[in-house]
A and B are shown apart, each in its own frame.
Chain A
């Protein structure tokens, strides 16, 4: 359930392009034709799916405060470790970007070796991806939202990639059609693309309520019990104050 929720949330509610404007540069530059947009989108899905879990492991075992505890076998009880005080989180930018640049290079070599046709269609986009904000953004959001397991991190990377793919394919399709429309001259090209993206983002905002309803409807039993207790206490207090007021009068 957790997985399904994260999956849909990353695609629709927290869409990389429409909610956080990540990867806008290539989104605007490479969205003139649907076929190239599909190529770049596929490459982004692929690289996000690989780098987010990898960076999750880096974060868990190297970067977090106390993460180095596994070095002397105290992973479960970090406070006993001699490495408990180390906090390397300031290094996360440089490590994440190094992982991404390396992975992009590696993916490029592997794809070239095993699937030359895919390489030819993705070829020019792969190096571009190393500097796509969506990729680094995926890893940084993974870190700041404290995603718990490697499986969820994999899921997060994959579904954010799909969200980005959807956005770029949609805008490319619209731009192909809008070529036949009579757009005011100063807005042609970049200007109208910005405004269309804004309107699409407004449309995607309507997905916002999709998942929050479930959370409110099923609170945990413990929470419920506490709430009941608290309200009873509040009612008692109110009664007391009321009685005090009455007696004073």
Chain B
């Protein structure tokens, strides 16, 4: 760890568990739920957010002494919007089918509260390198939840991972289906995303009782 001091490592690792943007800070849930019916879009979304978040934090941190505080929200929105346009155009050029599937949710990264939240809370008051790490860390924490939710919803809902039939074929009755297993079609529908996240929160807070909220 020559490059990263102890404090820097903490910036990256904390958001993964005890300070997770989705389950603890309650930020950026909007886009997290809608696209997690399958694993592949979840990973693309996670990577896009890591890109936007890392670079956005760097830009805001560089500009932090130049931005008048009254118009900072508009400046932040313009910075994010520019980065998101880059992501959107790259996806349209190299993965057109996927970008159609994600439809408006790539655009909604702009209003993803994690991004604005970290700009306000961290990048406006810290140096470039630390802001970059903070951005990457928080985006990773966001991505991990996305991937966990996507993994379970695709596995239990369609019996596939990345489109591969890992549990056997439901039509010809091979693998698990041979002994009477059925896909839970409900997992693919939107409401189950909320319930899966609820269960993740439950598990996390049972393991770390400090996080339990007062009623």
Contact = CB atoms under 8 A, between A and B. Distances in A.
Contacts of B78: 94, 97-98
A25 B194 contact: no
B206 interface: yes
B103 A144 contact: yes
Q: Is the interface of B mostly helix, strand, loop or mixed?
A: helix
B205 A191 contact: yes
A21 interface: yes
B30 A133 contact: yes
A140 B74 CA distance: 19
Interface string B170-181: 000000000000
Q: Is the interface of A mostly helix, strand, loop or mixed?
A: helix
B205 A186 contact: yes
Contact of A188 (B81, B104, B108, B212): B212
A22 B30 contact: yes
Interface stretch (B134-142, B151-159, B196-204): B196-204
A58 to B, nearest CB: 14
B194 A183 contact: no
- Say which size band chain B's interface belongs to: 35 or more
A136 B110 contact: yes
A47 B84 CA distance: 23
Contacts of A187: 198, 201-202, 205
Given A90-B88, A98-B78, A144-B104, A183 B215 contact: yes
Given A25-B27, A144-B104, A131 B195 contact: no
B191 A189 contact: no
A94 B81 contact: yes
Interface string A171-206: 000000001000111111111101101110110010
B195 A195 contact: yes
Contacts, number: 142
Contact of A205 (B27, B89, B113, B189): B189
A201 B28 CA distance: 19
B26 A29 contact: yes
Nearest to A102: B74
A180 to B, nearest CB: 9
Contact of A18 (B73, B190, B201, B202): B190
Interface of B: 23, 26-34, 73-74, 77-78, 81-82, 84-85, 88-89, 103-104, 107-108, 110-113, 116, 189-195, 197-198, 201-202, 204-206, 209, 212-215
Given A22-B30, A131-B116, A133-B31, 19 more contacts: A21-B194, A25-B113, A91-B85, A94-B78, A94-B81, A131-B111, A137-B30, A179-B215, A185-B212, A186-B204, A186-B205, A186-B209, A188-B212, A189-B213, A194-B197, A197-B194, A198-B193, A201-B191, A205-B189
Interface of A: 18-25, 28-29, 90-94, 97-98, 101, 127, 130-133, 135-137, 140-141, 144, 179, 183-192, 194-195, 197-199, 201-202, 205
